[in-house]
Amino acid sequence: MKKIGLFWGSQTGNTENAADLIASVIGYEHVDSYNIRDTGADTLAGYDSLVIGTSTWGAGELQDDWYKVFPTLDSLDCRGKTVALFGLGDQLSYGDFFLDGMGILYEKFVERGAKVTGAWPADSYDYSGSRAFVQGSFVGLALDADNQDHLSASRIQQWVGMIRPVLL
């Protein structure tokens, strides 16, 4: 079985909590988990299966640590890599930019040649605009710890059930 590289960036801990739960549902023995603050594109390059998580800050911006790493992703060859994305956002307060950070990373990984898996239905959310909404669904798992925290665990369970057999 392949090892999955799980890379996440988190400002106040919400994405970190989601990453921990995702790793535990996949099975810790299959996952190497990295705070993107402490690592970079070179480490990411070593995995064929990636789970990538970010929150969104500012008005539709990447989380700070991803923001710093982002330019270095241009040197990453993602052909042959499979990527599953998850994002944290606040649909009520930032409904025009809901999960835009996940959309920004999606666009970059697609541009670098990755195959993206784990699209997620958008119908149980209430927002007006999202860069992470592409061809009728979110490009990855959509989590909202501010307004729908009670749904996060079951969403993660269901989503991991979809991506696990693809990534391992």
Ligand X SMILES: Cc1cc2nc3c(=O)[nH]c(=O)nc-3n(C[C@H](O)[C@H](O)[C@H](O)COP(=O)(O)O)c2cc1C
Q: Which stretch binds ligand X (CB under 6 A): 13-21, 24-32, 42-50, 111-119?
A: 13-21
Beta strand 49-57 pairing with 61-62: antiparallel
Using CB under 6 A, which of the segments 11-19, 32-40, 110-118, 147-155 binds ligand X? 11-19
- Region 146-165 residues binding ligand X, contact defined as CB under 6 A: 146
Instruction: Tokens for 9, please give them.
Output: 């960036």
Q: Using the rule CB under 6 A, is 89 a contact of ligand X?
A: yes
**Token code pair at residue 108:** 């970059």
Q: Applying CB under 6 A, which part among 9-17, 24-32, 75-83, 150-158 lies near ligand X? A: 9-17
Based on the shown chain and the rule CB under 6 A, indicate whether residue 119 belongs to the binding site for ligand X. no
Structure tokens at 37: 């603050």
Q: Which is nearer to ligand X, 62 or 160 (CB)?
A: 62
Secondary structure class of 160 (helix, strand, coil): helix
Nearer to ligand X, 78 or 88 (CB): 88
Strand partners, 135: none
Burial (CB count within 10 angstroms: exposed 0-12, middle 13-18, buried 19+), residue 71: exposed
- Segment contacting ligand X (CB under 6 A): 39-47, 51-59, 106-114, 117-125? 51-59
Distances in Å between the alpha carbon of 68 and those of 27, 57, 62, 79, 116?
29, 13, 9, 23, 22
Q: Which of 5, 36, 44, 60 binds ligand X (CB under 6 A)?
A: 60
Q: Which residues bind ligand X (CB under 6 A)?
A: 10-15, 55-60, 63, 88-90, 94, 97-100, 145-146
